[in-house]
Structure 1
Amino acid sequence: MRIDKLLCQLRFTKTRGLAHDLVVAGHVRRNGARVTRASQLVAVGDTLTLPLPAGVRVIELLALPSRRGPPAEAQACYRVLDPHAPVALAAPSGQQPEEGPPQ
């Protein structure tokens, strides 16, 4: 699937034309490499870095959408990879996680 069509169907842009302009300007990255052709193909498992009004978002494609559907359908096709989110660490085996102060 073309990257401009994907960005529109996943609802990151309102129109395919806006997605085309975003890609051609060189603001989108696919697997770490800058994309400058709107016809660049994407596949499941690719990681995209997108500059959005709310900030930069890094996503991993889980599925390719078949249409521009409702937001819930679009969000099921990708997973957000946030490099600044805290990571939940599991307690080592055999140990109980520490409890916080009583409330």
Structure 2
Amino acid sequence: MSRAAGDIAEKAAADFLSAKGCRIVARNVNSRFGEIDIIAENEGVLHFVEVKSGRGFEPIYNITPSKLAKLIRTIEWYVQKYAIKMPYQLDALIVRGEECEWVENITL
């Protein structure tokens, strides 16, 4: 997928989360371990959201074990760097055209 298509999917995901009552804290947070697409707060929980999109296949399958490990390391870095004290979780947000599906707590 092109960077432009990824940007469109991330904007759709951020708009979707905002419509669900989330406050977008940050987007495209980079560390030496990897990138977090969206960080959002909702009802006292910080959501680290990996956005996946695509056509002709199930995008969530692009979250591989190695990708998951990078995301977890990046989240740990962010939590330590910003001294986060609130509960947090890792979510996926799947964008299929105009449709968005929020899959919460993908590490359980």
Q: Quickly name the TM-score band, shorter chain normalised.
A: 0.3 to 0.5
Could you state the TM-score of these two structures normalised by the residue count of structure 1?
A: 0.34
Higher share in helix: 2
Q: Say which one has the larger Rg.
A: 1
Which structure has more relative contact order (CA 8 Å, sep 6+)? It is: 2
TM-score, scaled relative to structure 2: 0.33
